[in-house]
Amino acid sequence: MRQMGRSMLAVALSGMFSSMAAVAQDRVEAQWLERLQSEGRAAMRNYEETVRRIEEVSELTYRQVAGERNVIPIQEKTVKRRLVRVEGNVLLEQSVVFEGSKEGPLLRLECVNERYSFTLGRASEESAYMLTDYREGAYEWLMPPTAGLHYEAYEAIQGLLKAVDGGGKLLALEWDDERQLVRAKYQKVGGGGKVDLTNEVWLDPQYHWRVVEERRTTPTATGVTQFHYGHAIGDLTFPVEMVAITTYKIPGAPVLRVEGRTSRIQRANLPVEHFYMSHYGLPEPVGVVWERRTPVYVWLLVAAGVLLTLALVFRWLARRLRHGPSEG
């Protein structure tokens, strides 16, 4: 991971020059546009369906690697998080350790369900959670409901497809012989025709158009992100490592490096009660009454009992047919 981070610095510094050299070669190749329209969209549909029930455990470190700290303050930290999504329910459990702090980790748990959202905090792993924030009604979370390393990897494909659909400007879509990947480039245009984002992306069409690298340019910063894959759910692959280098367009500004590693990603089977306040020993808000759901294992036991009863009845009927009614 550290070696990957150091190599990313060189990529970040050289990215501007390689992008400038590529401008004259930018072109949209019809064969790749056709494949993106079919294969890329199919991959996104697969992804969106998969992440409706997903659990990810990851760790991220935020470090300043160059520049002056007083130009743009960067709070160096290590974040351990567990993200669970079950349909419209989202749970984010975080432990944040700030570099140089004498205090213990900041422990928070955020939950979103169809009726409300809430945030819990606690002083240590051994202490109980306390309510720190509550919001009534439907709530659009500040983070996307699928936020995680997997979201970072697939967000670029979403942006590319939006550009193809007219929600941006597609500048390039072509085969990169040197990297053996598809290179795409698009812009997101805001109000007044102002370019808010230029994104250059390298994708691997052999693995459902997954993003290998992206280079983002905004009016205030440039960023280079690389993904290494190693997890899979079905035939869809997910990143095991990510390194992102952000350089701000301010003289003397710091360079931020974010390294991420996913230790587990799988289909989520968390019971829906885990997204309710009552699961953490707190009373439910006034007027909120959840329908009690019969556990799955109870229905399985009932079904097994019915099948056993039917088997006994059929066995008795078979004996009656073989030996006649006189043997009762």
Q: Is 145 exposed, middle or buried (0-12, 13-18, 19+ CB in 10 A)?
A: middle
Range of the domain at 14: 2-280
> How far apart (Å, rounded) are the C-alpha atoms in residues 122 and 80?
15
Q: 220 and 191 in one domain?
A: yes
- Round to whole Å and give the CA distance between 179 and 194: 31
- Confidence band, pLDDT 50/70/90 cuts, at residue 22: very low
Query: Is residue 257 assigned to a domain?
Result: yes
170 within domain boundaries: yes
CA atoms within 13 A on the CB side of 99: 10
Q: Which of 302, 325, 262 is nearest to 55 (CA)?
A: 262
Q: What percent of the chain has pLDDT over 70?
A: 80
Task: Average the pLDDT over each of 23-37, 39-53, 92-106 and give the range with the smallest value.
Answer: 23-37
Does 114 map to a domain? Answer: yes
How many separate domains does the chain show? 2
pLDDT band at residue 122 using 50, 70 and 90 as cut-offs: very high
Q: Which secondary structure element, helix H or strand E, spans residue 248, and what is its range?
A: strand 236-248
Q: Where are the extended beta strands (E) located within 8-157?
A: 53-66, 77-86, 89-98, 106-112, 116-122, 130-136
Residue 290 lies in a domain: no
pLDDT attached to residue 299: 47
Provide the β-strand partners of residue 238: 231
- The string of DSSP letters for 257-308 reads EEEEEEEEEE-----GGGGSGGGGT-PPPTT--PPPPPPHHHHHHHHHHHHH
CATH number, domain containing residue 92: 2.50.20
Residues 178 and 311 placed together within one structural domain of the fold = no
Cβ(280)–Cβ(90) under 8 Å? no
**pLDDT tens digits for 260-308?**
999 999 999 999 999 999 999 999 887 666 555 545 545 455 566 666 7
Model pLDDT for residues 53-102, shown as the tens digit of each residue: 999 999 999 999 887 777 788 889 999 999 999 988 999 999 999 998 88
Q: Does one domain contain both 215 and 302?
A: no
Please report which confidence band the pLDDT of residue 187 belongs to, taking 50, 70 and 90 as the band edges: very high
Rounded Cα distance between 179 and 153, Å, is 18
